[in-house]
Structures are given as structure tokens and as C-alpha cells.
Amino acid sequence: VSEARSMPTSPKLIRRMPAPPSPAILIEPPSIRMEPVVKASIPQLIAIHPSLDVKNVRELIDHARANPGKLRFASAGNGSINHLAGEWLAQAAKIQLVHVPYKGGAPAATAVAAGDVQFGVIALPGATPHLKSGRAKVAGITTGKKWPPEPSWSTPRDAGLDVDASIWSGLFAPKGTPQPIVDRLNAEVRKTLEQPDVQDVVRVAAPVSRVGESSASLRTGEELAVAQLVRAMLVPSGND
């Protein structure tokens, strides 16, 4: 099981390995050396403090352009998918943001609610208590497509940006697992997640927006996209 894109991100962000990586690691991304079975994703929120007078992603970008280097955004830490999503947004929009890393998503969400930073890129479960209390608002999400449960939330594509960063969890089988077995596992996982009692839990803990993608569709070049982003951020990487 892999979560939060750790497979594509980790090899590109580790500066020094404790031991020399095998040639396979340098040649093939991790997901190619396993058989993806199923993937489920949730959006990352662009959560803002109520004092920031923006309503959507486009207005956030316009505000950042008018105030270069003055908007501070929180993430769950350096190299986290939240951090990379914020940097991806900044790079695509050609804006200057100040990244403030925290030791986890909960402290990052608290920082937004307290007004220590103007906004944060935060997973939905961590932001929910502050949204309910009114101490934080949603300006949008970082995925390219709308999230069906909240279709009014804006996306980077609404602002003309090609940014698509989600938090996903995947189930993988060993490389070489026969396709009929992979397909059966996929079908059984999907069947389980579609049960009403499971759906009730999933909606509360981690709302699923996409489930049941095929093995081929999971190999979408995320590793290349992450590598390009990391190079643009000038983060030293011993694997590039």
C-alpha cells in the first residue's frame, strides 16, 4: 500500500541514500516495478484564513501577483505532497509564494485557522474542524477536476492552470502478478468500498473521489512530473 504519492515523490526528493540505489531504481519508477491494483484519491484544499479576501483560485492568484512574496502558505512539511502542490501552483501561475513547513497536516491547518499564514494546502480531513468552526474557508482544491461532493469549489484549471495534485492511496501487487488476479483484486476492493457501511466510514475519514483505475491508467507519468517540478524548485536530488 502506498499513500500520498510517496512512490513518485520520495525517490526525487531524497538527497542522499543510505546505500547506493540499484540500477533498477534509477531506470524505472517504483510503480512500474509493481502491479497497481486500485487507487483512491481525495483533493487537497486551498484553505484560507477568513481575513484573506479571495473566493477562489483565480482571485488567490491575482492577489499573489499584486503582492509578490507576501503570501505565506502552510504545508505538512518540506517535500510533502502539500508542499509540492503549493509550489506547482506557484510555478504554473508564475507567482511568488513563501512556503512555511509544519510538522504535519494538523499543525498546518491550525496555523491557517490562527492567521499565522494566509493559506495552506491541506488534506480535507485535517481542515474540516476549522472549516466547521468558521476559522478557515475553502478557496479551492489542487486537483484538475471538480470534486463531485463539492462541485462549487474552484480548481486551478478554472484559472487556466494545468495543475493536478491530489492525495491518493494505492494498493499494489508484486510485479508479474497475472492480470486476471489483478483484475479480481480490483473488483473485490471496489465492491467493498461500494458497500453502504463502508461508504459511511470513508466519507467521514477520507472521502474517495476516484476508485478502480486500471493498472495501465495508474502509470501516468507522475514520476516525470514530480522530477520536473523538483528540478524547477532547485531541490538537490541524488537520483536525477
Closest CA to 35 of 185, 193, 166, 192: 185
Q: Give the SS3 label for residue 115.
A: coil
Q: Give the SS3 label for residue 148.
A: coil
Closest CA to 57 of 154, 143, 123: 154
User: Can you give the pTM of this predicted structure?
Assistant: 0.74
pLDDT tens-place string over residues 226-237: 666 666 665 444
- The C-alpha cell at 26 is 534509477
- The C-alpha cell at 1 is 500500500
Please state the φ and ψ torsions of residue 194, each to the nearest 5 degrees.
-85, -5
The whole-angstrom separation of Cα 160 and Cα 237 is 30
Rg (CA), the chain: 18
| Average confidence score pLDDT of the chain | 78
Kindly state the average pLDDT of the residues 65-83: 93
Residue 166 pLDDT: 79
The yes-or-no verdict on residue 220 having pLDDT over 70 is no
Kindly state the average pLDDT of the residues 127-132: 94
Burial 72-83 (b: 16+ CB within 10 A, else e): bbbbbbebbbbb
Higher pLDDT: 168 or 153? It is 153
Pairing relation of β-strands 97-101 and 71-75?
A: parallel
Kindly state the average pLDDT of the residues 49-74: 97
pLDDT tens-place string over residues 114-126: 999 999 999 888 8
Please list, in sequence order, all residues whose beta carbon lies within 8 angstroms of the beta carbon of residue 182, skipping any fewer than 6 positions away: 35, 37, 173, 215
Residue type, 224: L
175 vs 3, 29, 102, 124, 192, CA distance in Å?
Answer: 18, 13, 36, 32, 24
The yes-or-no verdict on residue 19 having pLDDT over 90 is no
pLDDT tens-place string over residues 161-196: 988 887 777 788 888 889 899 889 888 888 887 888
Cα Dmax for the chain: 55
Residue 201 pLDDT: 64
Closest CA to 121 of 158, 90, 160: 90
pLDDT band at 140 (very low <50, low <70, confident <90, very high): very high
